[in-house]
Amino acid sequence: MTNSIRGRHRDSRPAMTPLTILARTATENAGTVARRGAIAAAAGGVLISTIATTAHAAPAMDLKTDVKTAKLNSVDLNSLTAVAKQAVAAAPTVTVPADAKMPTEMEALGTSSDADGKKGGEEGEGPAVVSVDAPDPVPVGQQAINIAFNYLGITYVLGGNSPAEGMDCSGLIQYVYAQLGVGLPHSSGAMLSSGYQVTYPEPGDIVWTPGHVALYAGDGMIIEAWAAGMPVRYTEMWQNSPTFIRVA
C-alpha cells in the first residue's frame, strides 16, 4: 500500500510585512501630499491655472529606515516643495502690463435724440463736442469806470489830461477812454457830439451839462474832476436833467 502524501502549495502572494505596508502607504499618499504642497505654493501669491496631480510622484521612502521609527509625517518637505515649484513652473501664468487701461464708454453730453429715439449725429462720427459758453466780455463802459477808479484823488488842473500833470473834467474822460482805444476830444462841449444820446445811463456813459462832464458809474453815482485844486472824486450824481452820451 502506497501512501501518497499531498504537498501543501505555497501561497503565491508575497508575504506582508510592516515594511511592505509602510512603502505602499507612502506610495498611495504621494499624490495627495504633492497636491497639498502645490496648493500651499499657490496660496503664497502665485497664479496657477492647471496643476497635474498625478504626473508628479513623491519621492520613495528609504526602505532601509527602521520600521519602528518610520512615519508618514517624516516625508521630506524640501522634496515636496521642489515638486510644487516644478508644477508652478510648468503651468501658464497670466501677466498684465503696468500701463494697461480698461476701456470705458461714456455717453457724450449735449447729444440730441431724433424721433426714433436715436442719438444725434451720423453713424461713424466722432464723439460729440460739448461747447461751453465763454463768459460775456466786460462792456467797454464798465471797463472805463474800472480804469477811472484808479485816478481818484488826482488833482484838478485846468487843461490837464494826465495823472502826472493833473486833469480837468474832460481831460479825465479823454485819458480814461484813450486806454480803451476810444479817441475823444479834450473839450466838454465837443463831447456832446462824440457819441449818441441815451435816456437811461449805463456805467461809462458821459454825464453832460453845459460846461462840465462826468462819468456815470452806476447806481446814481459818478466819477468826476469837479473843481480847480480839488481831487477827482466818486460821488452821487448831482446834475439836474443832464444829457447822457454813450461813446462805446
Q: Which residue has the cell 464798465?
A: 142
Look up the pTM and report it. Answer: 0.49
Would you say 217 and 234 are in contact if contact means Cβ atoms under 8 Å apart? yes
155 forms beta bridges with 231
Assigned fold of 140-246:
endopeptidase fold (from Nostoc punctiforme) (3.90.1720)
**pLDDT for res 69:** 47
CA dihedral 110, 111, 113, 118 (to 10 degrees): -160
Mean pLDDT by runs of 10 across the 248 residues of the chain is 46 51 51 47 41 44 47 55 67 62 50 46 58 82 98 97 96 98 97 96 98 98 97 97 95
Whole-angstrom Cα distance, residue 12 to residue 116? 89
Query: What is d(CA 205, CA 179) in angstroms, rounded to the nearest whole number?
Result: 16
Question: Which residues are CB-contacts of 73 (< 8 A; sequence separation ≥ 6)?
Answer: none
**Domain ranges within the chain, ordered by starting residue:** 18-90, 140-246
